A = this chain, B = another copy of it.
Amino acid sequence: MNELKKYQPTESELEILQILWDKGSATVRDVHDLIESVKDTGYTTTLKLMQIMTDKGLLERETGNRTHVYKPLLTREKTQESFLNKMLNGLFKGAESRLIMGALDNKQLAPAELQQIKEYLKQFENKQP
C-alpha cells in the first residue's frame, strides 16, 4: 500500500494543497497571496511550509528558475478518500448513513446532483450480503 495514500496532511498543508489542486502548479508567491487574503500570516511561513512539504514528498518543485514552481504529488481525490475513510472508520463508524444525511442537509444540492445520487443508490439495491 502506497505511503502517500495514507499520509494525512495537516491543516496548513491542506490549505496549500487546495490552492495547488485548483491551479495545477504555483509559486510560493501565488499561494501566499491567496492565503494572506484569508489569514494573517507571513510570506516566509508559507515558503517554509512548502519547503517542508517538498521534503515530506507531498510536493515537487521545479528549481530551474530563481522562482520555484510547485506541484502537488497527492491527488485531491486520494486525499478526500483518505480523510473520508478515516471518518467512516472513526467518528462515524456505525453511523455511515448519518454522514450521508448530514451531507445532504448541509448544502442545497443541485437537482442534477440529487439525480446522480439517486442513480448511484440503485447500484446498491438488490444486493445480497
Q: Which residues of A contact B (CB under 8 A)?
A: 14, 18, 76, 79-81, 83-85, 87-88, 90-92, 95-104, 106-109, 111, 113-114, 116-118, 120-121, 124-125, 127, 129
Contacts and interface: CB of A to CB of B under 8 A. Distances in A.
Contacts of A79: 91
A101 B117 contact: yes
Residue picked from A14, A80, A91, A95, most chain B C-beta under 10 Å: A91
B97 A84 contact: no
Given A97-B117, A118-B121, A121-B114, A107 B80 contact: no
Given A14-B91, A106-B88, A124-B104, A97 B116 contact: yes
A100 B103 contact: yes
29 contacts: A14-B90, A14-B91, A76-B91, A79-B91, A80-B91, A80-B98, A80-B102, A83-B91, A84-B92, A85-B106, A87-B87, A88-B107, A96-B103, A96-B106, A96-B107, A96-B109, A97-B109, A97-B113, A99-B99, A99-B103, A100-B103, A103-B103, A104-B124, A108-B127, A108-B129, A109-B124, A114-B121, A114-B125, A118-B118
